[in-house]
Structure 1
Amino acid sequence: MPISVRSALAQGNGRIHLLEAHDRNSEDIVRSAVGADNQAFHGVWISGLTQTTYLGIPDSEIISPLQRASLIDFYGGTPQKASRELCAAYDADSGGPAAEIPALVAVLVAMGVGMVIIEDKEVAEPGKKVNSLASSSASQGQADMHEFADTIRIFKEASTHKDFMVTARIESFTTRVVQSSTAEEKASVQAALAEALARAEVYRDAGADAIMIHSKSKQADEVLSFLGQFRAKDPDTPLVVVPTTYSKTPEDVLHDAGASVVIYANHLMRAKINAGNEISQDILPKQLDLFSRDSELDVCLKARNFGCLMPKMLERKYLGGEAKAYLQGLEAAATERMKAAARCLLDAKMACGADEHLIPVKELLEINGRQISYRLGPIVLPGSRAISASTSEDSLPSKGKVQLRYRRWQRGFGDSVRSYTRGWMARMGVSGSWKLPTTKSK
């Protein structure tokens, strides 16, 4: 069984690091990677950006966090006897429709995921989320902090497992507008810092088990300022950081400032796409019509989304010899690149340590933004058979109970399932057996 993030923190003396995984192979690489000093990753980060890249859809919350969680097919199985246990944290974007939160938590707990991270962006409807690292991230504001605190309470009410952690991700730095003058920029950063600290207090009081502070600055100053001021008042609440852009900041600097969890959020997908670029430069000029009869594969290739291309090729049973040889080359090169990236991260102990093996994160965002396919049918939760809302829970295994509860919640909420973040507390019109909490905003 997987271990919880809470247990990993206890075993790691309050300091752990996670690496992004998006399929079984990348998870195995995270599990088996060992640095020169025998350091290893404590767990995996199930990233919204890399999972949607794998699926061939934009990272814009075009599908809900529950739908995306139901498509995870690589975490929570039984590893080989000699394998090392990993914890996992799930990127749940804004949290999704309130009616889906209990089912989302149940799905994650059933898989063994120990932490869910929800961000306080204002997402008015599906498909409108802007990635925090995008140049246009300031176009999206933050949700009202007290409404978001109510979202945290819903997650906490749904999460009855004692080790399951709900983490509030604060976007005050990524949603601010960068100023041209030095004085105005300094004032903007200070205002964002004050806002972030105020939100952290509200979210913690609402029940958040941990706080994540996000930044897209190339320097760690914003994050370090937050860590220092938060830790001066609260030495215990776990703090999460993601040094994708401030990649030259060593892990030890972040931990010494107060960070508990360091996440390398998209590195294995960036390594995989880099490998695909290199292999394709050698092979494709000689085979220009390789996918001329398969428009979906052709679109994947033209988008350079090798994270999506490879699993789609594996689905095909009619691939010719040249395509099969190309796929084998892609798989081998991607595995080699991802292993090298993981080792470099462990040895360097900072996010830039693997740069020679990666495409820039800006390129990943561009590739992710090119929608390739959207073939999502009804939600089928992992490991469970088709059931109806009237099925008896006693007749089902644990994962079947998860699906049954989702069906009942779905039936009870009706059309409100599609309601989204902004103003949903007022507009939900909730009915059914599960109720929104009545705790008043502070």
Structure 2
Amino acid sequence: MTFESRKLPGERISSLVDIIKKKGHAIGLEAHSGLSGLVTEKLDFDFIWESSLTDSASKGLPDASIVGNESRIHTIDEILNVTTKPMIVDGDTGGDEDNFRFLIKRLENQGVSAVIIEDKIFPKRNSFGGTVGAGMEDPDIFSKKLKVGMETKSTNDFLVIARLESLIAGLGMNETMLRAEKYINSGVDGIMIHSKLKDPAEILEFIPKYEKLCDRLGRRPYLIAVPTTYNSITDPELIKSGVDIIIHANHLLRASYKSMLETAQLISQSKRSLDADQNISSVKEIFSAVGYDKILERDKEKAPEIEALITSAGNHQINGIQRSLNSISGRPLISHQIETFKKVGIEKLNITVNNLSDFESFSDNNINLIETKNTEVNQMLDSIMLGLEKIEGPS
């Protein structure tokens, strides 16, 4: 996909719910820029996860509520502009109620399909480095914020999802279930359960308790899991256990940082960039990924490729040197002629010569040397006619 593939906001908002209805689940991958969004778009992921951690890190900043909503919205727009898949946004704590109202309206206008906010106080600390019990929001206050969000959104296709951080904060399963009940009663569309353990046992313990709670309350919001640390479990296993939405939350950012560091080290150590070539994309691949090749194709359609003819087959000499090879301002005359054509966008050139070896240094993929042995008085006409025979298309 390229910058041409933008989907209208109204179409995109509903696409996440449509995918879940059709497949029974949805699996997404993180993106933190337009280019990483294109990677997610290219593969068989159902949606894009716009992460606070990776958005902040891509700007060289910590995930601690330092990057504001306007900057986040700019990144979101960069990704949406070049992709078509639905997006779920990491809304941090959501801010206060007015901040949350504003955020939801902006996200809906952009075409985002869902926002997830976590039950921690502002300024938040990342879940994998600083979340403690003292940093948790009062569940009743958080529930009220969730209700505000549900009342603010203008379409049922936009999902408001509550993120449970109590297991990460070490508050235990009972506190987690208490919070889950309050958030479900607030009317949210989904519950995200979070864990920092390397084993999925904690998540697998939560799921049946969640199902039982939903049965008792008479409604079941979508269940979301983020297997960043407990990634020994597969997506199909999580789905079979009852998870509806799976988020692979920060892997493209982590992969890109490692690759950039290794490439920089190679260049620094070898004092040249050649050794890094085997580990990086070609410029041509990047051009193709971002759609630059399509721009070039359209340029060709608007201006058909024109070939030019330079006749240098005469035997006229100046100071014993073929006229076209005489130096003007330090360069052969023919070099100035080639440059003049290239300046006006004519790259493909045919040059008639009567001694091929004298002109071989000027030959390349776009310059065709045509040798003629005619040195008679009609040599100019013969040179032109021979050159024209070799030209295909406009000249």
Mark yes or no: TM-score above 0.5: yes
Number of the residue aligned with 1:102: 101
When Rg is computed on C-alpha atoms for both structures, the one with the higher figure is 2
Matched, 1:272 2:256: yes
Is contact 1:149-1:206 (8 Å) kept? yes
Is contact 1:66-1:101 (8 Å) kept? no
Higher strand share: 2
Is contact 2:263-2:276 (8 Å) kept? no
Aligned length: 270
Moved over 3 A (4+): 63-67, 325-331, 333-336
Deviation of 1:78 (Å): 6.1
Q: Which runs of 5+ in 1 are unaligned?
A: 34-39, 80-84, 177-190, 288-321, 337-442
Q: Give deviations 1:316-346, integer Å, cap 9, x for gaps.
A: xxxxxx89x999999628999xxxxxxxxxx
Name the CA shift for 1:208/1:65 in 2 (closer, same or farther; >3 Å).
farther
Instruction: Show the 5 A alignment for 1:34-433.
Output: 40-65=44-69, 67-77=71-81, 79=83, 85-123=84-122, 128-134=123-129, 136-138=130-132, 140-176=134-170, 192-234=172-214, 236-286=220-270, 332=281
Amino acid in structure 1 at the alignment position of 2:175: E
Q: TM-score, normalised by structure 1?
A: 0.57
TM-align CA RMSD? 2.7
Matched, 1:10 2:21: yes
CA distance in 1, matches of 2:197, 2:191: 19
Amino acid in structure 1 at the alignment position of 2:21: A
Is contact 1:44-1:88 (8 Å) kept? yes
Deviation of 1:110 (Å): 1.6
Q: Which runs of 5+ in 2 are unaligned?
A: 1-6, 286-395
Number of the residue aligned with 2:309: none
Name the CA shift for 1:326/1:55 in 2 (closer, same or farther; >3 Å).
farther
Amino acid in structure 1 at the alignment position of 2:53: L
Deviation of 1:242 (Å): 0.4
Q: TM-score, normalised by structure 2?
A: 0.63
Number of the residue aligned with 1:318: none
Amino acid in structure 2 at the alignment position of 1:130: R
Q: Give deviations 1:353-404, integer Å, cap 9, x for gaps.
A: xxxxxxxxxxxxxxxxxxxxxxxxxxxxxxxxxxxxxxxxxxxxxxxxxxxx
CA distance in 1, matches of 2:33, 2:284: 12
CA distance in 1, matches of 2:186, 2:169: 22
Amino acid in structure 2 at the alignment position of 1:102: R
SS at match of 1:240: strand
CA distance in 2, matches of 1:139, 1:335: 51
SS at match of 1:44: strand
Is contact 2:160-2:188 (8 Å) kept? yes
Deviation of 1:280 (Å): 1.3
Q: Give deviations 1:235-270, integer Å, cap 9, x for gaps.
A: 632100000000101112211221101100001111
Q: Which has the higher contact order (CA 8 A, sep 6+)?
A: 1
